[in-house]
Amino acid sequence: MCGITGFYDAHLDRESKSNVLTRMMSAIIHRGPDDSGVYTDERVALGFRRLSIIDLAAGHQPMANEDGAVWLTFNGEIYNYEELRSELIERGHRFATNTDSEVIIHLFEDLGIECVKRLRGMFAFTIWDTKTRTLHGARDRFGIKPFYYAQLGETLLYGSEAKSLLEHPRMKREVNEDSLQHYFTFQFVPDPATLFKNIYRLPPAHFFSFQDGKMEISRYWSLEFRPENKSAGYFIEGTKHLLTEAVRMHMMSDVPRGAFLSSGVDSSVIAALLRRMEKLQTFSVGYAEDTYGDRYDELSDAKRTAELLSTDHRELRVSGKQFWAAVPHIIWHMDEPVADPAACALYFVAGRASEDITVVLSGEGADEVFGGYGIYREPAEVDKFKRFPTPLQGLLRVLAQMLPEGVKGKDYIRRATTPLSERYFGNALIFGEDQKDQLLNISKNRRLMPTDITRPYFDQAKHLDDISQMQYLDFNTWLSGDILVKADRMTMAHSLELRVPFLDHHVVEFAATIPPHLKIAENMTKYVLRQAAKDWLPPEVANRPKRGFPVPTREWIKKDWLHDVRRALESPTAEGLINKQYALLLLDEHLAGKKDNSRRLWAILVFQIWYGLYIDQSISPAPQVQEAAVSR
């Protein structure tokens, strides 16, 4: 895993290109501390930071073909590169290294940018074709690896992280106010926009070609849910086979590797499969306070799993004060505000793991792939209401409208009588529209609705059952906008490569054929995965309910963080965009116990700190605080 950055500018001289590129590369040095490389000519500047994983002595980038006509910068891993390499050798290609990077170059020589369809893995790369004077780029199917870009007239900037683009002298630090509205709805900004004005993400499963100031973006792969009428046994056996294969392929490296381990079945499956193949180090994170009971403690369950698997297990406990002290540094690494406090816990455990290993496998993606979120039970609950006689449904609807907010049953009836596309916006809905009107000091003429983002996905999936529609939305928003952003940034903050076997596209395509009655069955989410897991794990682990990596922000805001939170909300940072009085009202309600506003307050705090770091630059990243945590 590495970092790439660069730009196309036919008007800037080569010396100036080199100076600008140096600044852009310095911004992402954490992504690749082992090596760096540059290529410049009259049109492009390509920069690379390397974290050495495979063929440690070779693999220097930018990498060229034999005649220097094609130049590659590549971030990621291609797990089928040995198979592709053999094919290419049979067709007459000659290799100078044993890297997956060189495979992409020769595959491009044969297939052009369409070569991306042959790749199995996680990747973001650019290819500069000197003969056609075209800059190509691509991103993997799920957005595991990041790719940002900005087009400023005939100039194109790109990078693994947005912070590198901000080092270009033509890139202004401005907030995209449309994206700000979506951030306070979803807790992240959905693709392809970002919270930076004029900076975008290349969407997952897309490639581009940029020539003479014109950019063409194309999709090369789409996830299709096609439920098949086959037995549970068929899906269980298929899952076991494909997951075992995926984990074996994801072990590819010439450096030490391990696994994250929480209380859930996802990480436990990955750890169990790894442990069958080799000795294994596992890493878990929890909280120093023991005053909150077991609501937030996953360490005891993770430790039990580690004992069952006989792994070399390491635990890390973080206090509320240590957590808060790390927040500015964490948000700096995130690039964009993602109001998911679990990112902070991931930051700490990644730091601990990086002391011993360079590659870590984790369970991200399993919930989206196999149907793991509790909200996926809702369609079955809604169907119960729809079985009532029509007159009774109408009567209940009227009665529900008369009930005050918070009364049991009111929200259920409201959701049961609302179409799925108008009630489900993904795994997080932070602020409602009226609340955003009170919070944001922006023009009401540009009021954007959650359905502006979600409707196109529901339109594409309207032929599917409700659970599959919900999964399709989460695949295209939550997975790439939240889950994978924090997974990449929090591990790369410590120069640690994270791999996600559940997002092998062979696994995903197979799981997309599972019918809805086998996604939620016997009152269990991820039914097929849990049954498959019983080959590798005892039932007590395979059947554990999802915890969702809870973080005690609700309690910390009331205690450990109280003065810091109030001081932050009262500060002038971003006051032109945020109604500070409304933010303080939310805090007072939370402290009085009237409402649990912890998620809303966290979203505001994350945005304000991000604004201070990246827009007005009134805040500097906090120093490294990993060593402050308690590990054993």
Q: Which residues does 62 contact at the CB level (< 8 Å), separation at least 6? A: 37, 38, 39, 46, 48, 71, 72, 73, 128
Question: Which of 522, 543, 523 lies closest to 532, judged by CA?
Answer: 543
Give me the sheet containing 359-361, strands edge to edge: 497-499, 359-361, 257-260, 281-287, 312-318, 630-631
Query: What residues are annotated to the active site?
Result: 2
DSSP code string of 313-355: EEEEEE-HHHHHHHHHHHHHHHSS----THHHHHHHHHHHHTT
Are residues 200 and 162 in contact, defined by beta-carbon separation less than 8 angstroms?
Answer: no
- In angstroms, what is the C-alpha Rg of the chain? 24
Give, in order, the Cα–Cα distances in Å from 178 to each of 191, 200, 264, 443: 13, 13, 36, 10
Helix 580-591 vs helix 598-614: crossing angle, to nearest 10: 140
Pairwise CA distance, residues 143 & 353, whole Å: 23
Whether the Cβ atoms of residue 366 and residue 502 lie closer than 8 Å to each other = yes
Q: Residue 40 — φ and ψ, nearest 5°?
A: -135, 150
E strand or H helix at 201: strand 200-201
Per DSSP, the three-state class of 524 is: strand
Within 502-620, residue ranges assigned H as helices are 505-511, 527-533, 539-542, 553-558, 562-570, 580-591, 598-614
Question: What gap in Å lies between CA 439 and CA 177, rounded to an integer?
Answer: 13
Cβ neighbourhood burial of 225 (10 Å; 0-12, 13-18, 19+): buried
Contact between 496 and 350 (Cβ < 8 Å):
yes
| Angstrom distance (rounded) from CA 236 to CA 244 | 12
Name the nearest CA neighbour of 369 among 466, 513, 548.
Answer: 513
Q: How far is CA 488 from CA 100, 252, 346, 603, in A?
A: 20, 18, 10, 20
Residue recorded with tokens 């011993």: 356
Task: Give the CA distances from residue 313 to residues 279, 295, 330, 497, 605, in Å, rounded to whole numbers and listed in that order.
Answer: 11, 22, 25, 19, 34
Two tokens, residue 310? 């006989």
Report whether the peptide linkage leading into residue 337 is cis, meaning its omega lies within 30 degrees of zero: no
Helix, coil or strand: residue 488: helix
